[in-house]
Copies of this chain bind each other. A is one copy, B any other.
Amino acid sequence: MSDATAAFDLAAYLTERRQIVDDALDVYLPTAETAVGVETGGPANGRVPVKLYESIRYSIFCGGKRLRPILALAAVEAVGGETAHVMPLACAVECIHTFSLIHDDLPAIDDDAYRRGNPTNHVVYGEAMAILAGDALLALAFELIAHCRLFYPAERVVDALTMVAAASGTRGMVGGQVSDIECEGVSDLDERTVASIHSRKTGALLIASLLAPVRLCEATMEQEDALRTYGTNIGLAFQITDDILDLEGDAAKLGKEVGSDLRQDKATYPKVLGLDMSRLLANQAAEAAINALNAFDHRADPLRAIARYVVERDS
């Protein structure tokens, strides 16, 4: 770790960025009041889906770390772009992340009752609303990305949107989630299969969170390649650390039960590699992520510090 990285106050940075992202989400997320074109009143308030807006906001403002939008902003900083202008995209990836959590927590999928210390969406609003809130967040995400044309050429907006859509669908997050479910209880998993599942379920959207915003800012191909390597490695480090925390983390800090992967016999790194080897691999991935940024100047220090944080966090 360079001195500059050591001197960088990540905790303060994350707190400040989290607040900026939360403020932007509050503006971008619909409310009953902003439900343009829909009249209020009527029996059962049948013309404004008030509970839908509540349900969406409940899960969005439920204590998320905002890692993906913060990565988006940090990547833009690293290439010298204007972070305020990519905010709709940064919020869009958080919407997609939240949509995936709401759906993954459903009884038919992971059946989780708690997330970040709070009851999950379907526990509070019911399964129907949780399914539909997730759906709405995914649609909203693409609307938000389209907003970026205000500051960027439309060709780049289409590029960025394509990256995020591809990272979310069958070849990315959703496909990874299906493979994850299919591999529950499978005894002869190898490391490559676990890596394939997680690179799609978690890695793809993390990488898109870095690359889509810098594509808007006209980053060079070299910069995109470096950020892809960075993203691939922090994705790996992040997922291994998640797996380790699920085994030996502090439930109070995590805000959810531990040991759920074990109970569901999930495809995890500790399962195929053991704890020690998993820890080693996570640290190596964090180092590789930092090394990928060698060509960047001090403006990439937040990204460097985040790579370290990803493996050192306790929640």
> Which A residues lie at the B interface, using CB under 8 A?
30, 35-39, 42-49, 51-53, 56, 99, 103, 106, 108-109, 126-129, 131-132, 134-136, 138-140, 142-143, 146, 149, 153-155, 157-158, 161-162, 165-166, 168-172, 174-179, 181-183, 186, 188-190, 192-193, 196-197, 200, 267
Contacts and interface: CB of A to CB of B under 8 A. Distances in A.
A162 B182 contact: no
B42 A193 contact: yes
Contacts of A36: 171
A44 B142 contact: no
- A interface secondary structure, majority: helix
10 contacts: A30-B169, A42-B190, A42-B192, A52-B175, A56-B170, A99-B135, A103-B132, A108-B131, A136-B170, A149-B155
A39 B128 contact: no
B170 A47 contact: no
Contacts of A166: 143
Nearest to A143: B165
Contacts of A37: 171
Given A35-B171, A53-B170, A129-B178, 9 more contacts: A43-B190, A44-B186, A46-B179, A48-B179, A132-B178, A146-B165, A154-B154, A157-B158, A158-B158
Given A49-B182, A182-B46, A131 B103 contact: yes
A179 B146 contact: no
Contact of A46 (B35, B129, B157, B193): B193
A43 B186 contact: yes
